[in-house]
């Protein structure tokens, strides 16, 4: 259980460092806001439109698939701890477990849910110069 | 007070504070991020119940998975930045009714005795015990869980895709 104390120390330290950094920044900074400074920095270009666009649905499906296999991994932790003592039986049991879930992976794969949509930018062709 | 007890109250305060932010934040995205800290606080409470495996599971699945899903849900909603959280505009009667209902349930639970007290107990790791149980005694539920997951996966993806096609 002492491992959790270490985890707690890491968590608190992490939050503390972020808070201290922000606090120092707040204390040291001078505030002279101007509209230009509030612009989003996009490599020196003027930003077009808001940053809060709708994300593609595909992210959601990928996240759903991720959660299912996340749960599968959670089941594998206690299995892995006792695997050395039980041996072949544990192997067979987990094999069945994984094969059943592989059916799901095959299903989403075959249906193209794992396919990433590639952006197909429509290039605007320059109008041809007249007189040629 | 002992160190353990102080820590317990600190974790409780942390959890409740983030839960309050979830309920009262004006922007949905702030609620979603505060939910992250609520989930982490719950993991701390599980550790106090000597459920170390459950605590880690809570972090892996809720913080690592469900919260990502919620964030995607928030990010995929149209004009989310202009939408104020609906909780702030609920009719007073409905809110009071819901609150009273929850309070009654909690009161009934509190009045049930005896309470388990786990403070100052020696905590033992539970992962190996769980591993043995799911491989011997609870083998069938374990394998059925995989079928349940399979059903959830196919169903969820099918529904999410059907929505995608509508547009």
Q: Which of A64, A81, A101 sits opposite B160 (nearest CB)?
A: A64
Q: Residue A38 has what pLDDT? A: 80
Summarize the confidence of residues A38-45 as an average pLDDT.
79
Three-state secondary structure string covering A16-38 = HHHHHHHHHHHHHCCCCCCCCCC
A40 contact B CB<8A = no
Q: Do A82 and B150 touch (CB under 8 A)?
A: no
A60/chain B closest Cα distance in angstroms = 6
Q: Which of B30, B60, B160, B163 to mutate to test the interface with A (most CBs of A within 10 A)?
A: B160
Q: Which of A61, A80, A104 sits opposite B160 (nearest CB)?
A: A61
Q: Residue B119 has what pLDDT? A: 58
A75 contact B CB<8A = yes
B167, with CB counted inside 10 A (0-12, 13-18, 19+), is exposed
Summarize the confidence of residues A120-127 as an average pLDDT.
68
Q: Do A67 and B65 touch (CB under 8 A)?
A: yes
A contacts of B56 (beta carbons < 8 Å): 77
pLDDT at A13 > cutoff 90: yes
Residues lower than pLDDT 50 in chain B: 87, 167
Q: Do A72 and B149 touch (CB under 8 A)?
A: yes
Tell me the CATH architecture of domain B1-88. Up-down Bundle (1.20)
ipTM > 0.90, yes or no: no
A contacts of B61 (beta carbons < 8 Å): 67, 70-71, 74
Identify the residue with better confidence: B69 or A44.
Answer: B69
Q: Residue B167 has what pLDDT? A: 47
Q: Residue A119 has what pLDDT? A: 63
Tell if the pTM clears 0.95, that is, is over it.
Answer: no
A contacts of B132 (beta carbons < 8 Å): 82, 86
């Amino acid at each position: 259980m002492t491992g959790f104390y270490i985890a707690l120390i890491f968590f608190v330290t992490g939050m503390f460092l972020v808070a201290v950094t922000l606090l120092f920044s707040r204390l040291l900074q001078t505030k002279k806001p101007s509209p230009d400074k509030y612009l989003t920095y996009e490599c020196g270009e003027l930003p077009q439109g808001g940053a809060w666009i709708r994300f593609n649905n595909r992210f959601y499906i990928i996240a759903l698939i991720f959660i299912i296999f996340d749960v599968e991994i959670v089941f594998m932790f206690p299995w892995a701890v006792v695997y050395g003592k039980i041996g072949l039986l544990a192997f067979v049991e987990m094999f069945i477990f994984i094969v059943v879930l592989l059916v799901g992976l095959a299903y989403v794969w075959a249906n193209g849910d794992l396919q990433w949509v590639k952006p197909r930018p429509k290039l605007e062709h320059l109008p041809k110069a007249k007189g040629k | 007070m002992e160190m353990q007890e102080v820590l317990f109250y600190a974790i409780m305060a942390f959890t409740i504070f983030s839960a309050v932010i979830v309920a009262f934040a004006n922007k949905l995205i702030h609620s979603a991020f505060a939910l992250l800290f609520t989930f982490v606080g719950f993991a701390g409470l599980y550790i106090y119940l000597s459920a170390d495996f459950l605590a880690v599971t809570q972090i892996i699945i809720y913080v690592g998975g469900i919260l990502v899903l919620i964030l995607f849900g928030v990010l995929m909603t149209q004009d989310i930045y202009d939408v104020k959280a609906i909780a702030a505009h609920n009719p007073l009667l409905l809110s009071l009714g819901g609150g009273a209902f929850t309070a009654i349930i909690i009161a009934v639970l509190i009045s049930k005795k005896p309470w388990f007290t786990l403070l100052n107990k020696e905590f033992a790791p539970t992962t190996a015990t769980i591993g043995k149980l799911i491989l011997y005694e609870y083998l069938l539920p374990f394998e059925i869980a995989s079928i349940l997951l399979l059903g959830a996966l196919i169903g969820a993806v099918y529904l999410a895709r059907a929505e995608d096609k509508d547009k």
